[in-house]
Structures are given as C-alpha cells and as structure tokens.
Amino acid sequence: MNNVVFRIITLSNQYQPLTSRPSEILSVTVQMPVRNKQDASFQGEGGAAVPFQKGTCFELKKVNLAEIKVKGRPGDKIVLVGGTW
C-alpha cells in the first residue's frame, strides 16, 4: 500500500530539510510557486547549492528527503506532492 504526501514548506534564510523525520524515502514533485518573490536554493548530500526559479517544478524519484535541504526568501513556499511509490 502506498502513502500519499502533500506538503507545503515555508522557506527561511537558513537551510532546512524537506522532512522533519530522520529518514523519509519518497518520490515527489517539487514545485516553486510563481507567487514566490525569489528563487529557492536546494542543497544535497554533496553540499553544492542548486538554485531553482520560481514557477518551476522537478521530480525526485525514491530519495531520502532528510538529505535534501532548501532555503529561500523568508515567507516563500515550496510544495511537495508524491508518495511512497
């Protein structure tokens, strides 16, 4: 049985993981709403920051969300939709 995840994360100027759990392996679509004021910056296990523009989205397949961190303009949001499939 698969679990569905719908999560909205409010960004801050400090990196925060995509989950509050120590480990959470999911496949998700990450969307940066077009109403955000600035791009979001993602950081993976290797430590390199990768910027994504507002209004874009991308897929992550079977990744540990605890190992991916994000930061951006305080108050901007990202949306995660996916599940355990």
Write down the number of H helices and E strands in the chain.
0, 8
4-83 CATH: 2.60.120.10
What is this structure's pTM? Answer: 0.88
Return the domain boundaries, the chain: 4-83
The pLDDT mean for the chain works out to 94
pLDDT tens per residue, range 6-32: 999 999 999 999 999 999 999 999 999
The CA-atom distances, in angstroms, between 70 and each of 6, 44, 51, 66 are 17, 9, 9, 11
pLDDT at 1 (0 to 100):
74
Query: Which residue in this structure is represented by tokens 């120590």?
Result: 22
Cβ within 8 Å of residue 20, ≥6 positions away? none
85 vs 82, more confident: 82
Mean pLDDT within 32-39? 95
